Every structure is written in C-alpha cells, then in structure tokens.
Chain A
Amino acid sequence: MDTDARPALAVWKFASCDGCQLTLLDCEDELLPLAGPVRIAHFLEMSTAEDSAEPATLAGTGPYDLSLVEGSVTTAEDVLRIHRIRRISRRLVTIGACATAGGVQALRNFADVEEFRAAVYASPEYIATLDTSTPIAAHVPVDFELRGCPIDRGQLLEVITAFLAGRKPNVSAQSVCFQCKRRGTTCITVARGIPCLGPVTHAGCGALCPAYGRGCYGCFGPVPHPNLEAMVRQLRHDGMSERDILRVFRTFNAASPEYAPVPGLIAEETTHPAAEEGPR
C-alpha cells in the first residue's frame, strides 16, 4: 500500500454513541465516490482491518492525512490515545457534540462522579473514569470542529471535500435563524409562541426542528458570543420554567464554555433540578 498516493483517512471513537461515525456510513451515494480520491485506512466502525489488510488496533498504525475524531475524553487511556492520534495525523477534525464540547456525558462535570458510579454500576470498583468529560481540543490542537448531535451529513462531506481541495470548509458560525429564513420557515417563536434556542444556536442542521414546528434545542451548540441573558429572558417569556431553561442548555453541549453563565441567570431555588425531584 506504500505506493498508494491517495490521502489516508482515519476515523476514531472516544466516549460517544457512534452516531457521528454512522453519519459517514450513511453517506450512501457518496461512499463509493469518496473511496476513490481517499484511502479509508482506519475505521473500526466499518472494518476490522487496517488499510484493508492487517487487523486494526485501537491505536492504529499511521500516519494519516485526515483523522476524524468522534467522542470525548473520559478516561486516562483516552488522554494517552488522543495524543498518539494527534502525532500520527496531519489534520485532525473533531466530529460531533461529544468531541467538540464533551457531549451529554459532560453532565458529570456538574455532579459527583463517585455518586453516579455507585448508583449506576453493580460493581463500581470495575469502573475507571475521569471526573470530567472533556472535548478533544482540551487535550490536543484541533484543525477544525464539526458541530452537531449528530453531525450533518452534508457538512461532513463538505469538510472532507474541502480538505481534498485544500480550501476552507463552507461551515458558517451563524445562527439557526439564518437557515430558517433561507428555507422559508415561518418563525415558530414569533408566530406560535414556541420556545426556541435557534437565535443562539450554531447553524448546520438546516434548521430541521423548526421546519417541523418544534423549537430548536441546541444540539449544534452555541454561536460565538451568544447573548444568553436575552435568550433566557425570552425562553421565560415563551413559557419555559426555570428548570426547563437550565435543562435545555444542559444537554449535548452542556459543558460548552459559552453556556457557563446560564445557571447564574436562573432563579436561585431551581438551580438543582435533581434535588427538586427528590430520590427516585
């Protein structure tokens, strides 16, 4: 395979649900065209072989021209592995909310991991985990971050295509509102009073939820510098309870630094939703 001059692509998994990797496999019509200009060298979700020959290992062989990394860092082994992957990758792109913001598993960052471990596992002593779930960029330099839970198929292909052409991907940091307006969706907040995170949420999904009459719940994470004070005020105006406002920000991108001011904007007595509900 040494004579193969095509760029080598590797796909990696950390703490995640595999949905973003599946998005690549879901590119049905484009998979064969992709396998032309690109050598899919390491992709355990698709093949147990490295470079279609040797059995693949979790660490890979390298070097790779483009590494797509799914998932967040939640164990000591993850920390070592992401450093190795960075060393053997020319370009490293994170895919999805886990890899770019820590994912829904970053809810542990706001709680006591020991407590979770004892409550969830029959033999907690078998579980070795870090106290936090952190994005890939907290550990190694990242060339590009693709948002979403899961990522958008079109944006993934755009990132790979842009990489092949040596250009910047057309992935804008504008709000979901732009995409609603471009596709001609009538604003569901203004016309129907539905609470929606669209104004402070990073575009990329194509404004899917509002097109079906449902408020955006922020699975693509925050726009740069969101005005959360104004957003929280508006969600309250549209009938969301303090608890639900906190919860809607505490989902797939819970640990996004941009969302850090949210608890301070919520009325004091409801900042601990778990406590409010009592023991289960």
Chain B
Amino acid sequence: MIGRDGLTALVEVLRARGYTVVGPTVQDGAIVLRELESAAQLPYGWGVDLEAGQYRLRPRTDGAAFANAAGPQSWKTFLHPARVRQWTAERVDGELVIEADDTPPPRFAFLGVRSCDLRAVAVQDRVLTAGPHPDPTYRGRRSGAFLVAVECTEPGGTCFCASMGTGPAAGPGYDLVMTELVDDAGHRFWIRGGSPEGTDVLAELPGEPASEALRTAAVHAVASAAGRMGRTMPDTDLHRLMAETLDAPRWDDVASRCLTCGNCTMVCPTCFCTTTEDVTDLTGNHAERWRVWDVCFNLDFSYLPGGPVRASPRSRYRQWLTHKLGTWYDQFGSSGCVGCGRCVVWCPVAIDITEEAAALHDWTRRAEDGAS
C-alpha cells in the first residue's frame, strides 16, 4: 500500500530509470494524456461527467486522482502515433540512397492504464505484432513500455467494459496495478506487481503491506463499479448479430445522423488503420515516406480507380461497426471493442455504439417474432 507520497515516488523512480512517464493531467477542459514531470500534475480532485457527445470536467471534494473515466486520447497515441516517418531517400550523384528511419523508440512508462485500455493494448499487440509482418514502430515502442494499470472505481456514464468482459478489474499485461481508495482512513493506493520489473520498482516505493481490510475495501470498490456502468452492450453474440443484420434499416437511420467525420475511429483505442504520404522537396533530391492515421470514414480510404468502394455514409458506418464488433473475431480472434465508451463521448452528434447494437438486436428479434 502506498499513499500520495508513494505516487510521487513512483513517477520519480520511473523517470530515474530512464522512462518518459505519460499519464493523465487536466488541460483544455479535459483529462488528457501527456508527459508528466511529477505526480503533482495528476488530475487530483477531478471527475468527469460523460454522456453521448458530451464531456465535462467536474471538481471532486475527495482529491482522488483516478476517479474519472477514459479521456479523449488513448495509449495508441504513443504506441501507434498519428505520424511516423518510415524512410528517407536522397539522390546522391544521380543514385537514390534509401535509408529506413531508425530513430531509437522512446521508452514510455504509462501511468493510469484503465482495464479497458489494458485490453486495447493487448488487441493492438495482436493486430500490429502477431502477424507475419510485425510493425517495427509499434514493436519498438511497445516492447520497452512499462504499464501501470489503475482499476476503475468510478465508471463514467458512457462506460460499458463490464458488459464487454474487459473491466473494471484489471486483466493481465501490467507491470504494476493500483486500486485507489479515499475514505476516513485517508488517500491510499493498493499496489501490486505484475512483472519482475514491476516488483523491483515497487520495492523502491515508500509504503507498507496492505491490510486485509484495505484489500477487501479495494475489491469491493471495483466490484461495485461493475454495477454502475452507464451503458451496456446487448447480451448476445455480437459477431453473429453483425453478420445477420447487414440489410437492417437501422443502417440508414444511423447514416442520416452520422457526419462521417471520423472522430469515433480516431479516439478508438484499437482502430489502427493508416495511409502513406510521400513527400518530396523543391529540389527533387530528397524524399520521405510518412505513415499517418487514416480511417474508414474517409472517402479516400477505399478509393480505387473509378471511385471509392464505400461511397455512402451507410456503407462506411456499417463497415466500421461490423468490423469492430463482428469481423474482428474472424481476423484477430477477439472483439475490436473494449467498452471504453470513447466513440460514444467524442461523437459530436452523440451516436452511441451500444444503442446501435441494441437497435440491430431488436430488429433481429422482431424479425424472428414476425417469422414465427
């Protein structure tokens, strides 16, 4: 068990070990992820009110640092960055010399990885490194990363990890995991190691063994959070639901509301699609290839000679949702959704993935009733 001073020490220890510590902090009206120089930058005393299409900070009187839910960014911003230079080419005496970009990857320590996001990192591990062509940028950043998970005790109005089986208790994959408690006995964190390095770091922190009472209180706080999720995914085989509803009228309904702006995919912690941009300079002697985030809502994303394959908003929204909840299983053996609720919060027109899935589910049930 550690106190606030232990959290301060944790950031110092990780920085002393050469990590760039990234964690939550308040900036521009939201709890964003940013490099932390000290634990004092953590969002002590800030909660959030989350609804579809709406995010508001709310002061908390208890001074808790992690009693808030997923913010506008996820860890993919650091592991799978929006822009990466892949190679450069120079023309030297008429010959092209191509060099892969071998900038050493930063060594990140992520402080405050939610259970849903821990699962999202595992999903991206599978997508970006488990195939025959592992992505060197992701692998370089991921293999050196130190993960400090935080279990959720205060889910948001748009959270639904409990119904996705991804939280609020932390699954495997962390180096350290914490559960925050603020009560009459003070502000404390029950902290456990999950890897040899995590255990080493833990040994450097000022703390004391957690009492049985503290452990019970922490387990209870997390279990209680599971019952306070603001959203629920319908309890059905989503993979099958997506395959059976390709012609549902609901897709036209959601397309009439969707702006195809791409916000849902960019805030999604598992969406991974990119495109390439080749850049040349005015002399024509220097070229660079950049990899940048792209999303299936962009018309250029499916552009082939003759036009985009998915020209209608209906086909683009359907592509996103059926991949996320359905064909992701065929491709990667799991759901692409971890229940973090970011796509619900950051959709400017409040489209809600759980509501859309529920509407599709209702449609199949009505179709079955009609048939019988």
Contact = CB atoms under 8 A, between A and B. Distances in A.
A186 B27 contact: yes
Interface in B18-60: 27-30, 32, 53-56
Given A181-B293, A213-B28, A230-B349, A199 B259 contact: yes
Contacts of A192: 29
A157 B261 contact: no
Interface in B251-281: 256-263, 266-267, 277-281
Interface in A151-185: 157-158, 160-162, 164-165, 167, 170, 172-175, 177-178, 181-182, 184-185
Contacts of B348: 177, 187, 189-190, 196, 199, 234
A181 B346 CA distance: 11
Nearest to B52: A190
A173 to B, nearest CB: 6
Contact of B261 (A30, A162, A167, A175): A175
B293 A157 contact: no
A239 interface: no
Contact of B299 (A173, A187, A189, A227): A173
A34 interface: yes
B346 A233 contact: no
A279 interface: no
A186 B256 contact: no
A156 to B, nearest CB: 12
A186 B283 CA distance: 37
Chain B CB within 10 A, most for which of A175, A191, A223: A191
Interface string B230-263: 0000000000000000000000000011111111
B24 to A, nearest CB: 13
A140 interface: no
Contacts of B365: none
Contacts of A165: 280, 284
B30 A175 contact: no
Nearest to A229: B256
B292 interface: yes
A234 B350 CA distance: 9
Contacts of A158: 279
A161 B282 contact: yes
A33 B259 contact: no
Given A164-B284, A174-B262, A178-B266, A227 B346 contact: no
Give chain A's interface secondary structure class: helix
Given A37-B283, A161-B281, A173-B300, A190 B292 contact: no
In this complex, which of A167, A190, A193 has the most chain B Cβ atoms within 10 angstroms of its Cβ?
A190
B28 A199 contact: no
Contacts of A190: 53-55, 72, 345-348
A174 B316 CA distance: 14
A34 to B, nearest CB: 6
B298 A172 contact: yes
Contact of A230 (B258, B281, B293): B258
A182 B292 contact: yes
Contact of A224 (B257, B262, B299): B299
Interface in B311-326: 313
Contacts of A182: 82-83, 266, 292-293
B278 A164 contact: no
A219 to B, nearest CB: 17
B73 interface: yes
Contacts of B257: 227, 230
B313 A227 contact: yes
B254 to A, nearest CB: 10
Chain B, interface residues (CB within 8 Å), range: 35 or more
Contact of B258 (A37, A161, A170, A227): A227
Given A36-B283, A181-B263, A170 B346 contact: no
- Among B83, B259, B281, B293, the one with the most A-chain Cβ atoms within 10 Å of its Cβ is B259
Interface in A182-219: 182, 184-187, 189-193, 196, 198-200, 213
A34 B32 contact: no
B77 interface: yes
Contacts of A175: 259-262
B82 A174 contact: no
Interface string A27-48: 0001001101100000000000
A157 B27 CA distance: 33
Nearest to B282: A33
B68 to A, nearest CB: 13
Given A182-B82, A182-B83, A190-B54, A230 B262 contact: no
Given A177-B263, A190-B348, A191-B55, 10 more contacts: A173-B300, A177-B261, A182-B82, A182-B83, A182-B266, A182-B293, A184-B77, A191-B30, A230-B258, A231-B259
20 contacts: A34-B282, A36-B282, A157-B282, A161-B280, A164-B284, A165-B280, A167-B280, A172-B298, A174-B300, A178-B261, A178-B266, A181-B267, A186-B28, A187-B346, A189-B53, A191-B56, A213-B28, A227-B256, A230-B257, A230-B258
7 closest cross-chain pairs (CB), A and B:
A199-B261, A181-B266, A199-B259, A177-B261, A182-B82, A186-B30, A191-B29
